[in-house]
């Protein structure tokens, strides 16, 4: 059994593919970092309009990364 620790860096979970963010609980499984408990029913949503210039999803106000 692997010890659970607080993640210090952001990475993808080797089990579920969802992002492990700093501060969340993680552990090692076969030398790969995974969530201590993977999210079961992580909400999925459709992707909105993507800006053809900056490739960022546009917000509800039609803003994107080009305005930054």
Which pTM value belongs to this model? 0.55
Number of structural domains found in the chain: 1
| Residue 62 forms part of a structural domain | no
| Residue 54 forms part of a structural domain | no
| Residue 22 forms part of a structural domain | yes
| Residue 24 forms part of a structural domain | yes
Where does the chain show beta strands of DSSP type E? Answer: 5-6, 11-12, 19-20, 25-29, 32-35
Query: Which residue range is the domain that position 16 belongs to?
Result: 5-35
| Residue 68 forms part of a structural domain | no
Q: What is the structure's pLDDT at 11?
A: 94
Q: Of 19, 30, 28, 26, whose CA–CA distance to 5 is shortest?
A: 26
The pLDDT tens digits of the residues spanning 4-58 come to 999 999 999 999 888 999 999 999 998 999 999 887 655 566 678 888 898 888 8
């Amino acid at each position: 059994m692997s010890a659970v620790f607080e993640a210090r860096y952001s990475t993808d979970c080797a089990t579920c593919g969802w992002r492990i963010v700093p501060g969340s609980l993680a552990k090692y499984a076969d030398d790969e970092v995974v969530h201590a408990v993977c999210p079961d029913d992580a909400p999925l949503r459709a992707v909105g309009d993507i800006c053809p210039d900056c490739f960022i999803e546009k917000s509800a106000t039609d803003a994107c990364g080009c305005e930054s």
